[in-house]
Amino acid sequence: NEGNEYFRERDYKRAVIAYTEGLKQKCEDPELSAVLHTNRGAAHFYLGNYRSALNDAIQAKKLKPTHLKAIIRGALCHMELKNFSEAIAWCEEGLRIDSKEKKLVEMRAKADKLKVNIKAVRDLLEISAGFSTLWQGRAVRSIDLLSERNIKLVLEPSNEEEEISDGLAEISLDGFHSDSATGARVHLDAYGNLNWPVLFLYPEHEQTDFIAAFHENSRFIDHLMVMFAELPPWDLERKYLPSNLELYFEDEERAEMYELNPEHTLLQVLQHPRYFVKAGTPTVLAFVKLSPFSKKYFSGKKVHRL
């Protein structure tokens, strides 16, 4: 009930925490647990935490295979992550339960169309040098927004076409966006703030988390508190607590690692002299403090610590 109240107030971070507390009670009613997972997934979804939302949808579906809301949410997450084949599969699963569910019918058609068209669109962008030149012209003001913030981009072109499709030309004046590997876009909100897609990597377990809209003035610790309000299923040793984690970014040019302050905002990190945004998606690596894996990982590397 507390989670539902926060959700109605659009305080999605507190809603996630409340639903998580409910799940920690380990209720023996699978239907209620499925609802808690579905509701927490909805809160994650509105925060832009699509992977976490998808994980909740998966858990809810395991508890109650006919839970249509969970299936719809899972399909929506796959759409946001541009996993169109998976979105189609989830839609078809839901339509077997209710063949007339309007959201699933519409989403199924949209996913099928996007799946067919996406390769053709990419091919067109790659071969059209004239179109690429147009993108370059439209990118100028957007690059100014980054320059004002002292944010640096990195390009890795292998030829002229890739330079256009993989770098600055992906940033557009139309809403200011840069396509990330997952399909999410950095965008300028109504208050003039940037919201970035951010990728968290967990090298020890070869896992990732993806935040589709990380506000530039949000702190890393705030996201860690939400992401690890409940320990992930792959953390069998229960080590991934927000207070037990260290965050780093890699300076690939110098082959050096820099530790981040979790209390810092995303913008503060992006403004670091050695931070370069690659492919439109800021990336950070998370390690358990003083773990055997982190010691081995950093062995032989130059590390700049806080």
Is pLDDT at 108 greater than 60 in this prediction?
yes
Residue 263: which of 203, 218, 210 has the closest Cα?
Answer: 218
- C-alpha to C-alpha distance for 167 and 164, rounded to whole angstroms: 6
Sorted by sequence, the CB contacts under 8 Å of residue 120 that are 6+ apart come out as none
Q: What is the pLDDT of residue 239?
A: 93
Q: What is the pLDDT of residue 300?
A: 85
Is pLDDT at 8 greater than 50 in this prediction?
yes
Sorted by sequence, the CB contacts under 8 Å of residue 108 that are 6+ apart come out as 88, 91, 92, 95
Is pLDDT at 153 greater than 50 in this prediction?
yes
Is 73 in contact with 59 (CB distance < 8 Å)? no
- C-alpha to C-alpha distance for 48 and 211, rounded to whole angstroms: 6
Q: What is the pLDDT of residue 149?
A: 87
58-62, 133-137, 165-169, 181-185: which range is least confident on average? 165-169
Q: What is the pLDDT of residue 135?
A: 39
- Tell me the pTM: 0.54
pLDDT tens readout for residues 230-273: 888 889 999 999 999 999 999 887 889 999 999 999 999 999 99
Is 23 in contact with 40 (CB distance < 8 Å)? yes
The structural domains of the chain, ordered by start, are 1-127 (1.25.40.10), 166-305 (3.10.20.90)
- C-alpha to C-alpha distance for 275 and 250, rounded to whole angstroms: 8
Q: Is 246 helix (H, G, I), strand (E, B) or coil?
A: strand
Is pLDDT at 212 greater than 80 in this prediction?
yes
Is pLDDT at 139 greater than 50 in this prediction?
no
Average pLDDT over residues 164-171: 33
Q: How much of the chain, in percent, has pLDDT values that exceed 90? A: 52
Q: How much of the chain, in percent, has pLDDT values that exceed 70? A: 81
